[in-house]
Amino acid sequence: MRFLPVLLAVGIVMSSFAALSADEKEAEAKSGKVLRHVVMFKFKADASEAQIKSVTDAFALLPKKIDAIKEFEWGTDVSEENASKGFTHCFLVTFADEKGRAEYLPHAAHDEFVKSVKPLVDDVMVIDYWSKK
C-alpha cells in the first residue's frame, strides 16, 4: 500500500508527458510547419526507361488518390558531386501532420504502388522531417 501514492504520482507525471507530447504535435501543426516524406530510389541496372517512367507516373498519381497528400514533387539527380550512391530519383511528399502520414502509409493506393515498384528497385531510402524555416 505504501507504493500506491508513488504509482499514482508516476501515472500523473506520465499523463502530463503524454499531454505535452500531444500539445507539441498540435503546436507543430499550428506553426505552419509541414511533415515532409522524402523517398529516393536506386533502380536495378536492368530496369528499362519505360519501366522507370511507369514508376514516376504512378507515384505522381498518388496525390489524386490520397487526400492526405498536400504537395508532391519529384526529380532526378543532377548533382555534380557524384555522391548519390546510385540513387537517381527523389520524391517529396508533404503532409499537414502525422495523421496525414498515418493515413498515407497503409492506404491501398500506396500499397499497390509499393508492390509495383519492388521488382524494379535495387534500394530505397526514406527520410521524414518537420520543415523548418
Which pLDDT tens digit goes with each residue over 67-116?
999 999 999 999 999 999 999 999 999 999 999 999 999 999 999 999 99
* 69 and 113, same domain (yes or no): yes
- The model's pLDDT over 33-45, given as tens digits with 9 standing for 90+, comes to 999 999 999 999 9
Sheet holding 121-130, edge to edge: 69-76, 89-95, 35-43, 121-130
The neighbouring-strand residues paired with 41 are 89, 124
* 12 and 26, same domain (yes or no): yes
What residues contact 129, with CB distance under 8 A and at least 6 apart? 35, 36, 38
Please check whether residue 73 is in contact with residue 92, taking contact to mean a CB–CB distance below 8 angstroms. Answer: yes
| Owning domain of residue 77 | 32-130
Which CATH number belongs to the domain containing residue 93 in this structure? 3.30.70.100
* Pairwise CA distance, residues 12 & 67, whole Å: 37
